Structure 1
Amino acid sequence: MDRQTVPEGGRRAVTDGGTERRQLSDVAGLAVVSPAFERGEALPRRYTCDGAGESPPLAVAGVPEEATSLALVVDDPDAPGQKPFVHWLLWNVPADTDEIPAGVPKEEIALGGARQGRNDGGTLGYFAACPSRGDDPHEYRVTVYALDRTLDLHPGARHDEVARAIDDALVEQTTLTATYRRAE
């Protein structure tokens, strides 16, 4: 099976009743975007430790036909010490999922059957972006993986175990990035 990394697909902003929302269009391969931020932009405060600390909303498109599930890893390669710091592990998301809503509950099983692992903060679910005050902006990578099977992992698994399972089932992957710097 060919494995490939596909950069973020086409995206355009449209107006719907005066509210801007981002859509995936003309997608060539797996793509992930967020209605909350553009690729490379600052993560809105709501999704950080300075705000509500909830997970950001995501939209997925271009999932390959041979994929049966999706997995997601959010990490910060700029965190000191452990590299990278893992903020979120989510797997066994059905392959036909086109939206992951904001504020996914911090439970072992969410979104109708998806599993969540332990982030590097030691908790389940999304660990909000929270670089040290005075740090340069940190980059946050949201990587979505299309997999050829569901992963036989217990909820609460850690990154190394999830990463090995993803690697064994990987069909395609794509990454969306954002940055965040805390106010002084």
Structure 2
Amino acid sequence: MRIESPAFRSEEMIPVKYTCDGDDVSPALRWVEPPPNVKSYVLIMEDPDAPMGTFTHWILYNIQPNLSELPENIPKKPEVQGIGMQGVNDFGRVGYGGPCPPRTHPPHRYYFRLYALDSMLNLKPGASLNDVRRAMAGHVIAEAYVMGRYGRRR
């Protein structure tokens, strides 16, 4: 399985539009070559370079198994019809929270990790990262990521 974004190439800069300095909307993502028998997907976006440790920007789970892409600007609500459910990020909000590293830092890395699962997760909308990771345990059948970078002007 592979994942990519039409908004940026892997390991390149994420456009300002998708950050706290722009419109703060989620980028479009698409994936190919999923394993057979996928029952759902989970997408987790994290910044491992955050000053206090890994910072979670987006949790999207129970993504429908027939999907192979996500459109730009997923609504920031707990349940998105036809797509899936969203959890609470480390900003304390449901949905996508774009890159927003401290101005004093060099560019951070942002990983969009897609997990293919052999089940749906028995979780309500608005779950925490720990709840999602616990529910995913033992159900991941494939994993892929795309990484973008972003740094703010000093």
Amino acid at match of 2:34: V
- The correspondence for 2:97, drawn from 103, 109, 127, is 127
- Whichever of the two has the greater Rg, that structure is 1
Q: Deviations over 1:54-79 (max 9, x none)?
A: 01110111111121111100000000
- The correspondence for 1:65, drawn from 36, 55, 61, is 36
Are 1:174 and 2:144 an aligned pair? yes
Are 1:114 and 2:84 an aligned pair? yes
CA distance in 2, matches of 1:111, 1:141: 25
Amino acid at match of 1:126: Y
Consecutive unaligned residues of structure 2, counting only runs of 5 or more, are none
Hey, what does 2:18 align to over in structure 1? 47
Match runs of 1:129-168 below 5 Å: 129-168=99-138
Secondary structure, counterpart of 1:168 in structure 2: coil
Larger mean Cα displacement after TM superposition, 166-175 or 142-151 = 166-175
Deviation, 1:94, is 1.3
Hey, what does 1:10 align to over in structure 2? none
Amino acid at match of 2:39: T
Consecutive unaligned residues of structure 1, counting only runs of 5 or more, are 1-29
Deviation, 1:150, is 0.6
Are 1:104 and 2:74 an aligned pair? yes
- The question of whether the paired residues in 2 share the 8 Å contact of 1:104 and 1:111 is answered with no
Deviation, 1:166, is 1.7
- The question of whether the paired residues in 2 share the 8 Å contact of 1:93 and 1:111 is answered with no
Q: TM-score, normalised by structure 2?
A: 0.97
Q: Deviations over 1:100-132 (max 9, x none)?
A: 011000011114150000000000000111001
The percent identity for this pair of structures is 38
Amino acid at match of 2:80: A
Which one has more relative contact order, counting CA pairs under 8 Å at least 6 apart?
2
Q: CA RMSD in A?
A: 0.9
